């Protein structure tokens, strides 16, 4: 973890043994650099997803010449989109009614 350094009570033999190494290091407590974990990797994945979404949004807006108009969107959605209830009626009408079990 961390090494304790103390200038008090240290022997002079240790100071003379490595003067070049002691001069090149900064004084203080040695602290290990934090390592990346799964959360850092997930941040990278999220950043990539956000950048990809922005790119796709720009491509879609490019198809419409970057014109955003709510009147245009409201005009085209009236007859084109069916409600969920209308879709379920259409799907149910396309299948024949099921016979009750044991009716054969």
In tens digits, the chain (104 residues) has pLDDT values of 556 555 565 555 555 555 555 556 678 888 888 888 999 999 999 999 999 999 999 999 998 888 887 676 555 555 445 566 677 776 777 777 777 777 65
Name the residue ranges covered by the structural domains of the chain. Answer: 12-68
Tell me, yes or no, if the pTM score tops 0.75: no
pLDDT of residue 41: 95
Distance CA 52, CA 54 (A): 5
Q: Which of 5, 54, 46, 11 is nearest to 26 (CA)?
A: 5
pLDDT of residue 95: 75
């Amino acid at each position: 973890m961390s090494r304790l350094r103390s200038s008090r009570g240290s022997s002079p033999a240790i100071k003379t043994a490595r003067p070049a190494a002691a001069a090149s290091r900064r004084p203080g407590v040695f602290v290990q650099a934090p390592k990346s974990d799964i959360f850092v990797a997930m941040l990278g994945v999220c950043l990539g997803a956000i950048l990809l979404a922005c790119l796709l949004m720009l491509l879609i807006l490019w198809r419409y010449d970057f014109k955003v108009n709510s009147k245009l969107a409201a005009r085209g959605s009236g007859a084109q989109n069916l409600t969920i209830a209308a879709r379920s009626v259409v799907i149910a009408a396309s299948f024949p009614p099921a016979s009750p079990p044991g009716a054969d």
